[in-house]
Structure 1
Amino acid sequence: MSDLKWKVLSSHYIHKGPWATLRSDECEMPDGKIVPDYYVLEYPNWANAVALTHDNKIIMVSQYRHAAGIVSLEIPGGVVEAGEEPIEGMKRELLEETGYAFDSVELISTIYANPSTANNKTFCYLALGGKKVQEQNLDEHEQLIVHEYSIAEIKQLLLDNKIPQALHCTGLFYALMKLGELKG
């Protein structure tokens, strides 16, 4: 596998922003071919969670996603802040977005949204034993509606293609496997 890795000869930034940065790399492939402009999107890492309440309901949130122009049904999550461990970021996001705290939070997958163009990871957790302990504490530009679904309802939502965010479908898949809810 290491013989497939490209060597970065130079890099320069085209745009630096708080949520996304665009970089151009000049690379050399293992066979010596030069790739003069390979564009890389730098994003902060993300964390999300399949979060189950104490009575086994899965917490989902609905929110508007401007780039796609849709209201999206998703698992809770968000950006891991600079200097923050992913698990701490996830616990913070769960509390802020849903008002729930959890008995246990376990990493179930680490995935890349699109490793061909973006460098960030998404850490997906399984959170169990959720109890509502406060009201939502949303960021300035967040408007979320919290929902609770049974595991059977989540499976049907997935079958009906009602959960459009690919990373969240992946997290649900890993969680349902971990919970023994999918046939192996």
Structure 2
Amino acid sequence: MHWTTLSTEYISNHIYFTARRDRCQREDGTIVDPYFVVEMPTSATALAVTADNKVLMVRQYRHPINDVIMELPGGFVDPGEDFPTAMKRELLEETGYSFEKVEWVGRVAANPGVLNNFTELFLATGGIKTQDQELDHNEEIEVVEITMDELQQMIMKQEMVQALHLSCVFFALQKLGKLSFTGQLP
């Protein structure tokens, strides 16, 4: 099943929000017009664990939902930057921590019905504070250290709402051997 794009009109062209209106044709000949797509750069996030086994979370205001939330550190991958390098850079900028090991654990698409990007998921371990934060002009980020138990409680109480970051926690905990998933339904 594949659609053919017959035409594209850009509505907005910005590094963080490029939106287009496509006119598409399905294989059965049906025309789908309009179909809106938001183009965004690839992003990366990590479950960041310090050398003393604390999880680094970031607390920040998210204007689209008008709330201050706890998330994992992360951000956009710069053009030409490989994913692990981008993740290490984002960790250092947002938290001031450098990590001994940064391992890829998965890839997810936030909303493939509208967004065209993926988020690369990582597990970062052995973190040590090496510098102050280097935040972008639009960032106000408080770094919060929690235990693995506190992370689990936060998830179970649905206090962590960023779905991409929940996916990262799932895959990272699986990698750490702290989560077993057999793939079998009860």
Q: What's the TM-score, normalizing by structure 1?
A: 0.95
Q: Which amino acid aligns with 1:127?
A: A
Tell me by how many angstroms 1:28 deviates.
1.0
* Residue of 124, 146, 149 corresponding to 1:149: 146
- Report matched runs for 1:157-176 at 5 Å: 157-176=154-173
Matched, 1:9 2:13: no
- Report matched runs for 1:26-175 at 5 Å: 26-175=23-172
Tell me by how many angstroms 1:183 deviates.
3.3
Give the superposed CA RMSD. 1.0
Q: Which amino acid aligns with 1:29?
A: R
Q: Distance in 1 between matches of 2:3 and 2:104?
A: 30
Tell me by how many angstroms 1:18 deviates.
2.5
Q: What's the TM-score, normalizing by structure 2?
A: 0.94
List structure 1 runs of 4+ shifted beyond 6 angstroms.
Answer: none
Q: Which amino acid aligns with 2:141?
A: L
Q: Distance in 2 between matches of 1:104 and 1:183?
A: 22
Tell me by how many angstroms 1:164 deviates.
1.2
Q: Distance in 2 between matches of 1:130 and 1:45?
A: 24
Listed as ranges, the gaps of 5+ residues in structure 1 are none
Q: Distance in 1 between matches of 2:90 and 2:142?
A: 14
SS in 2 for 1:37: strand
Tell me by how many angstroms 1:32 deviates.
1.3
Listed as ranges, the gaps of 5+ residues in structure 2 are 182-186
Q: Which amino acid aligns with 1:135?
A: D
Percent sequence identity is 46
- Superimposed CA distance per residue, residues 46-105 of structure 1 (whole angstroms, 9 cap, x where no aligned partner): 111111101111110000001100001000001111221121111111000001001110
Q: Which amino acid aligns with 1:57?
A: K
Q: Distance in 1 between matches of 2:34 and 2:22?
A: 6
Tell me by how many angstroms 1:24 deviates.
1.0
Q: Distance in 2 between matches of 1:161 and 1:115?
A: 24
Q: Distance in 2 between matches of 1:183 and 1:13?
A: 45
